[in-house]
C-alpha cells in the first residue's frame, strides 16, 4: 500500500504560549503566538509525508473561502500533500486557539466552522483512489456524526462503502464522555479495519476502565483491545497514552511498548502528539510492520512532535525519527 487519504477535521491552529492559566475574570500574558496547521487532516497528512516522502498522501476536508483555508492549501502544497478540499461559501475554516503552558499542558478553544458540514459528498474521486482511508475526528464532524437508519451514523455508511470497494479504513476520535460518544464511535468501529485512540477514548467506547485518577490501569489494556475487536475492528486495535502504546492485531497478538523517557526541558508542547502517534501507526499498517515495531515507531513520532510547540514542527524523516531510539531510553513500566 502506497496511497492514503486522510479525511475529516481540517483546522488552522493559533498556538498561544501563556505564563499561567488564569482564574475566571483574571488576566494572563500571552508570550508567543504561532500559526500552524491543525486537526486530524493536515497534522496526520504532514507527519506521514515527512516520515515517508514516497507515500502519496491526500488531505480531504471542507474549508471556508477565507485566509485560513488558503493557508491550509498553501502549507499542504509546500509539504507535498495533495489537497482535496471542498470550499464552503457560508462557513469559515475551522480553527482552534491553543492555550499552551510552558510545561506542554494545553487547553483548546475550538470553532468547527466548515468541518461541521463535511460529508461524503465532499470527497472527490482522487480522494477515493487510495489503499487506506483514515477518518478523524469523530464527534467533531456533525454531518458524518449524524444518525443513519441502516449503519448508525453517516460516517459508518461511508466507511462501509469504502470497505466494499476494497479500501482499508482507519478512524481517530476526540475525547468525550457519555452515550453519544459510544453510539457515534461504536457505529464507525463496525466498519473499521484499524482503530487508533487514547486511553480515555478507549475506556469511553468499551466501558473498560483504564485510569483511576492519574494512575493507568495497565492490566485492563488487553481487555479494552479485545473489546474494540468485539465492536467490529477487524485488523488492529491500538491504544496510546503518555506512559505507553499498546495494540492487538487480528491474530490476537497483544504487545506493549513504553514511551521514551524524555529529559526535563525536552517537551516544548503537546499539540498534535496524538496525530503524530497515529501517523506512525498508519505508516506501519501501510507497510505491514509487526505490531511491536509499529508501536515503537509511533512512540518515536510522538516524541518528535513533543519537541515543538506546534502540531507539525517536530515531524521528521523516518531515519531521523528512528534515531531517537538511540538518543533516549524508554520508561520502565
82 contacts 56 by C-beta, under 8 angstroms: yes
Task: Please give the angle made by the CA atoms of 61, 67 and 69, to the nearest 5 degrees.
Answer: 5
Query: Could you identify the residue written with the cell 501501510?
Result: 286
Domains of the chain, CATH where assigned: 3-22+31-327 (3.40.1190.20)
pLDDT reading at 311 higher than 60: yes
Q: What is the pLDDT of residues 22-66, one digit of tens each?
A: 999 999 999 989 899 999 999 999 999 999 999 999 999 999 999
| pLDDT band of 272, cuts 50, 70, 90 | confident
Cell of 285: 499498517
Q: What is the pLDDT of residues 190-228, one digit of tens each?
A: 999 999 999 999 999 999 999 999 999 999 999 999 999
Residue 310, pLDDT score = 83
Q: What is the pLDDT of residues 135-188, one digit of tens each?
A: 999 999 999 999 999 999 999 999 999 999 999 999 999 876 556 888 999 999
Residue 204, pLDDT score = 92
301 contacts 52 by C-beta, under 8 angstroms: no
Q: What is the pLDDT of residues 90-109, one digit of tens each?
A: 999 999 998 888 776 778 89
What rounded mean pLDDT belongs to the chain?
A: 94
| pLDDT band of 277, cuts 50, 70, 90 | very high
Tell me, yes or no, if the pTM score tops 0.85.
yes
Helical segments of 235-289, H only: 273-287
Amino acid at each position: 500500500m502506497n496511497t492514503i487519504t486522510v479525511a475529516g477535521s481540517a483546522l488552522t491552529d493559533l498556538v498561544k504560549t501563556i505564563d499561567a492559566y488564569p482564574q475566571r475574570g483574571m488576566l494572563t500574558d500571552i508570550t508567543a503566538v504561532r500559526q500552524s496547521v491543525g486537526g486530524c487532516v493536515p497534522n496526520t497528512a504532514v507527519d506521514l509525508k515527512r516520515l515517508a516522502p514516497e507515500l502519496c498522501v491526500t488531505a480531504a476536508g471542507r474549508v471556508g473561502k477565507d485566509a485560513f483555508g488558503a493557508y491550509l492549501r498553501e502549507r499542504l502544497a509546500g509539504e507535498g500533500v495533495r489537497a482535496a478540499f471542498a470550499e464552503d461559501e457560508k462557513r469559515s475554516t475551522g480553527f482552534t486557539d491553543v492555550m499552551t503552558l510552558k510545561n506542554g499542558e494545553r487547553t483548546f478553544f475550538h470553532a468547527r466552522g466548515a468541518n461541521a458540514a463535511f460529508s461524503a459528498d465532499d470527497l472527490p474521486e482522487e480522494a477515493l483512489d487510495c489503499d487506506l482511508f483514515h477518518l478523524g475526528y469523530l464527534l467533531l464532524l456533525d454531518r458524518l456524526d449524524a444518525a443513519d437508519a441502516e449503519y448508525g451514523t453517516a460516517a459508518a455508511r461511508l466507511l462501509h462503502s469504502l470497505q466494499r470497494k476494497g479500501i482499508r479504513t482507519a478512524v481517530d476520535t476526540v475525547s468525550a464522555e457519555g452515550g453519544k460518544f459510544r453510539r457515534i464511535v461504536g457505529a464507525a468501529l463496525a466498519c473499521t479495519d484499524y482503530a487508533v485512540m487514547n486511553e480515555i477514548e478507549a475506556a469511553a467506547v468499551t466501558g473498560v476502565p483504564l485510569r483511576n485518577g492519574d494512575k493507568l490501569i495497565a492490566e485492563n489494556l488487553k481487555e479494552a483491545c479485545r473489546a474494540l475487536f468485539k465492536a467490529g475492528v477487524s485488523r488492529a486495535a491500538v491504544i496510546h497514552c503518555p506512559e505507553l502504546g499498546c495494540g492487538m492485531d487480528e491474530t490476537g497478538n497483544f504487545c506493549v511498548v513504553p514511551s521514551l523517557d524524555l529529559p526535563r526541558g525536552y517537551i516544548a508542547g503537546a499539540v498534535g502528539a496524538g496525530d503524530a502517534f497515529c501517523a506512525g501507526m498508519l505508516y506501519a499498517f501501510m507497510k505491514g510492520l509487526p505490531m511491536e515495531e509499529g508501536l515503537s515507531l509511533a512512540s518515536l513520532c510522538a516524541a518528535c512532535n513533543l519537541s515543538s510547540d506546534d502540531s507539525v514542527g517536530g515531524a521528521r524523516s523516518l531515519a531521523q525519527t528512528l534515531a531517537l531510539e538511540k538518543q533516549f531510553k524508554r520508561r520502565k513500566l
